[in-house]
Amino acid sequence: MSLIAALNRRYATKAFDATKKLPESIVEQLFALLRLSPSSTNIQPWHFIVASSDEGKARVAKGAGGSYSYNEAKILNASHVVLFCSRTQIDEAHLQKVLAAEERDGRFAASPDIKAAAHNTRVAYLNEHQYLKKDVSHWLEKQVYLNMGGFLLGAGLLGIDAVPLEGIDQAVLNAEFALNERDLTAVTAVALGYHAAADFNATLPKSRLAADEIFTVI
């Protein structure tokens, strides 16, 4: 599918066909999208809870109670639901884990200095957000949203229906999955699968601000 075709085809799915499951070949590519997403200094401040069983989806759907209940059926009827979690802080253990992965993957083969430079750059960015901008959790969460953006586009290119779900109760999900205990917090979710015939949004035209409103070409 061309990029333009995927951009026009992708839409926020409001009702999923509960009888249709994503094939394993697609699921593998969705995992690759999540794992290979870029992040500032490659800090990868995320964790993903992927629910595909009825039990797993029911656990995620606990975050769609009360004023978020408009999202409950989307979670329960989707084939898969990804709960995007952000790290609440970056400790030395995480920094060393990223550095070790980069070394294992051959990023520092040219010279040992590159390893120190990679680590120092990451720490410098982290310190800037820690001590100057004082927005570490916000900065980390931005990386998670960036991941979700790529994920939605990728799912669209694969011909998968999806909906991002910011309408979830993060506190409930933090408790359900003991996320805070692991220095994580729930941010947002994406439900994926195939839309139901009754999805009112499937046939509505896409609507965006006019190009001359949003572009300044210089």
Ligand X SMILES: Cc1cc2nc3c(=O)[nH]c(=O)nc-3n(C[C@H](O)[C@H](O)[C@H](O)COP(=O)(O)O)c2cc1C
- Enzyme catalytic residues: 14, 74, 166
Which position among 41, 167, 172, 202 is part of the footprint of ligand X (CB under 6 A)? Answer: 167
Site string for ligand X, 2-41 (x = CB under 6 A): ---------xx-x---------------------------
For strand 184-193 and strand 161-165, is the pairing parallel, antiparallel, or unpaired?
antiparallel
CB of 166 to ligand X, least distance (A): 3
Residue 111 CA to residue 148 CA, distance in Å, equals: 34
> Which one, 118 or 163, has the nearer CB to ligand X?
163
Q: Write each residue from 115 to 154 as x if it is in contact with ligand X (CB under 6 A), else as -, in one continuous string.
A: ----------------------------------------
Region class of 47: left (phi > 0), else alpha (psi between -120 and 50), else beta: beta
- Out of 35, 124, 166, 180, name the contact with ligand X by CB under 6 A: 166
Question: x/- binding map, residues 92-111, to ligand X, per CB under 6 A?
Answer: --------------------
3-state secondary structure of 217: coil
Contacts of 58 (CB under 8 A, 6+ apart): 76
Helices 92-104 and 112-127 cross at an angle (nearest 10°) of 150
Question: If binding is defined by CB under 6 A, does position 84 make contact with ligand X?
Answer: no
Residues contacting ligand X: total by CB under 6 A: 11
User: Which strand (E) or helix (H) includes residue 185?
Assistant: strand 184-193
Smallest distance, ligand X to C-beta of residue 161, A: 10
Nearest to ligand X of 28, 166 (CB atom): 166
Burial class (CB in 10 A: 0-12, 13-18, 19+), 96: exposed
Min separation Cβ 71 and ligand X, Å: 5
**Residue 192: beta bridge partners?**
80, 162
Q: What's the burial of 84, exposed, middle or buried (CB within 10 Å: 0-12/13-18/19+)?
A: buried
> Which C-beta is closer to ligand X: that of 108 or that of 156?
156
Residues that bind ligand X (CB under 6 A): 11-12, 14, 71, 163-167, 188, 206
